[in-house]
Amino acid sequence: MNIYVVRHGETPWNTQLKLQGRSDIPLNERGIEQARLTGEGLKKAGICFDKVYSSPLQRAVKTAELISGFSPLKIIKEQRIIEFSFGKAEGSTPQQRQTNPDFAPIKNFFNNPPAYTPAEGAESFDEVFARTSSFWEEEIRSLSSSPRNKNILVVTHGGTLQTLLMHIDGRPLKDFWKVSFPNCSVNKVVLEDGKFSLEWTSRVFYTQNPSEQQVWTTTR
């Protein structure tokens, strides 16, 4: 079984480097185009989806819809792959996060993950790892019992995507940001003989220039 794990397309807050978290921000025009072209690229590669999961936030659901061609009603909204909650820091700009003492904990989230202690209303790494691990082991693994589930699409967010793939590649928390995921980049996980493996990461299908279709691989 092949599982294609995708970060949502670009949003207005992405372009402003604002911290999104659970804030329900829609795709911008470029994000819509990224998702549409990603869907076309996957179809050209012979990849069609049997089942589609998405974070319940609209930027992820719309990305899933445009990539898969599924109607929103057929997309499974999965709370376990929603983005980290960042509490009051959501909507903050990089400058605000540097100067406002209320946002001080966020600095460690990006610069020193093992030292990150979430502020009130925010999630810890352990909490997010627990729910994304449950998604893999209790939801996705169960699909392999049916031969009809050959290709699965999972659309999520940058932070949550890191935790999903760390369950597979075994990176330590200090290397949380070692792999980069552009908006609408695609990562392929294979479940074979009861074992998950990461086949490739961060493949971009929406660029018109083949030389720009970069692939970053993780270090196991």
Q: Of 190, 183, 189, 181, give the one whose Cα is nearest residue 215.
A: 181
DSSP annotation string for 81-125:
GSPPPBGGGTT--HHHHHH-GGGHHHHHHHH-GGG--PPTTB--H
**Does the annotation mark 167 as catalytic?**
no
Burial classification of residue 33, based on how many CB atoms lie within 10 Å of its CB (0-12 exposed, 13-18 middle, 19 or more buried): middle
Strand partners, 53: 76, 154
Q: Which of 10, 65, 78, 83 is catalytic?
A: 83
Closest CA to 128 of 156, 104, 103, 107: 156
Residue type, 122: A
Largest CA distance in the chain: 54
CA distances from 86 to 53, 78, 101, 111, 117 (A): 23, 19, 15, 15, 11
139 an active-site residue?
A: no
Query: Which residue from 154, 16, 161, 11 is spatially nearest to 83, judged by alpha carbons?
Result: 161
Active site residues: 8, 83
